[in-house]
Amino acid sequence: MDIKRGKVLVVDDDEDVLHAAQLFLKQHILLVQTERDPGKIPTLMRQENFDVILLDMNFTRDMTSGQEGIHWLQKILTLDPAAVVVLITAYGDVSLAVQAMKEGASDFVLKPWQNEKLLATLSAALNLRQSRLEIDNLRSRQQVLSADLDLPFTEFIGSSQPVQKLFSTIEKVARTNANVLLLGENGTGKELVARALHRKSSRAAEVFISVDMGAISETLFESELFGHVKGAFTDAKTDRRGRFELASGGTLFLDEIGNLTLGLQSKILKALETRQITPVGSNKFIDIDIRLICATNVPIHEMVAHNEFRQDLLYRINTVEIFLPPLRERAEDIPLLVDHFLKNYARKYSKKVQGVSATTMKKLLSYHWPGNVRELKHALERAIIMSESALLQPDDFFFPNKDIRDEKLIIKNYNLDEVEKSVIQKALDKYLGNISKTAQELGLTRASLYRRMEKHGL
């Protein structure tokens, strides 16, 4: 250790041992404190946060059994479960030191010690202490975040009857391990509901893995979902765990599942039926334990009727179906949503926007919102960025004609950006915000369409 770091407490009833430790360690350790009486350990620990405690195994009360050392080891770990204790022991007591390590000691050094060995042991112990503190900090942060997230459906705003019914359904279903299929138009908040189901389930402390099935190419599907082993294909330079394995013990959310081809559907079905996966290039089966939540904005039951989606897979994924209402069917929630997004974006962009005018609210309430809450959110973000007034006005928003999907494309402005924006908006309106169908109509990938929508504030 070139730079002094850490705080070390040395506890030994041998004055010579304490003196030798103090002389050597003060060259490398930021704070070295020594103590002959182990009875003072609790007081010292309350006064200082020690990174490592060097603890003798035997004291004057019990010179040979080492039980007094184990007693104080247990006491230390009771006071601070993250404490790192390194035992000081004689050569003949190695078996006792091993027993103490089973009780929670991190390591041991033999006395008389070699300075290099002691320094290496302390360096490793300091690193261990830092890791434990970081883990505790992350765990605490996670608990705080979980507590915040457990507020009733954070970010899913609404008090309308359809939303209250949705909340009630979530409460009932979340406590089970049933597979859930979320149905609804694009932008209605299906991932928010999936996360709420996870947070309120018995798996809440485990991982939530979200996969956009529409964004995974068919060639990489098996690798992404089931993983691969090194050498399975040209670019497989290392082993890689798939999403199913990563989600094991927790919740796997498969978004846009209606976009899968029949061939890919059969692979998903096999994994769900056997509760096992096989990484690409491997013959080894891996057991999985997932709670599955799927979502789609396509009429999946109609797809089954037209042999475009496997009926047996639908049976597997829709033990419970939850329908998310479009925004136009819960328009009374729009003022709440506007207030929520307005406050967030005004703070984000340091704007002094305080609200929307009565005329603007009337416009927002009368618009049909084909892109649902996502469209409203993007519209408010754009309006706040562009507006210079305290109250947002109708001119701050772009409101397409409600019947625009019935019109032919008439170019009145030859600015390419404006033409592109208009064409995208018309296609979105035509397919009621369905991104997959809109992208197909425009000859774009979903990712390309999203980039253009973000560019134009749609």
pLDDT tens digit string along 42-56? 999 888 889 999 998
User: Which domains are assigned to the chain?
Assistant: 7-141 (3.40.50.2300), 161-323 (3.40.50.300), 329-456 (1.10.8.60)
Q: Give the separation between CA 263 and CA 218, rounded to whole angstroms.
A: 10
Give 266: exposed, middle or buried? Use CB within 10 Å, 0-12, 13-18, 19+: middle
Cβ-based neighbours of 131, under 8 Å, separated by 6 or more = none
The secondary structure of 283-301 as a DSSP string is ---EE---EEEEEESS-HH
Distance CA 64, CA 93 (A): 9
Dist. CA 121–CA 272, nearest whole Å: 48
Q: Express each pLDDT in 249-263 by its tens digit.
A: 999 999 999 989 899
DSSP reduced 3-state for 356: strand
Q: What is the mean pLDDT of residues 132-156?
A: 58
Least confident of 26-40, 160-174, 212-226, 419-433: 419-433
List, in sequence order, every residue forming a beta bridge with 319; answer none if it has no partner: none
pTM above 0.85, yes or no: no
Least confident of 143-157, 238-252, 417-431: 143-157
- pLDDT reported for residue 450: 78
Return the DSSP state at 50: -
Q: Report the SS3 class of residue 106.
A: coil
Contact 8, 29 (CB under 8 A): yes
| Residue-level pLDDT at 148 | 45
For residues 82 and 129, the answer to whether their CB atoms sit within 8 Å is: yes
CB 250, CB 206: distance < 8 Å: yes
Distance in Å from the first CA to the final CA of the chain: 56
What value does the mean pLDDT take over residues 414-436? 79
**pLDDT exceeds 70 at position 155:** no
Whether 322 and 356 have beta carbons less than 8 Å apart is answered as no
Phi first, then psi, for residue 132 (nearest 5°) are -65, -40
Contacts of 113 (CB under 8 A, 6+ apart): 88
Q: What is the mean pLDDT of residues 342-355?
A: 91
The string of pLDDT tens digits covering residues 351-382 is 989 999 999 999 999 999 989 999 999 999 99
User: For residue 93, what pLDDT is reported?
Assistant: 66
Q: Say yes or no to pLDDT of 247 above 50.
A: yes
Q: Per-residue confidence at 215, pLDDT binned at 50, 70, 90?
A: confident
Between CA 198 and CA 196 the distance in angstroms is 5
Q: What is the dihedral of CA 242, 247, 248, 249, to 10 degrees?
A: 170
Q: What is the mean pLDDT of residues 304-320?
A: 94
pLDDT of 406 higher than 70: no
State the pLDDT at residue 174: 94
Would the pLDDT of 317 be above 70? Answer: yes
How much of the chain, in percent, has pLDDT values that exceed 70? Answer: 89
Query: What is the share, in percent, of the chain residues with pLDDT greater than 90?
Result: 50
Which of 158-167, 308-317, 419-428 has the lowest average pLDDT? 419-428
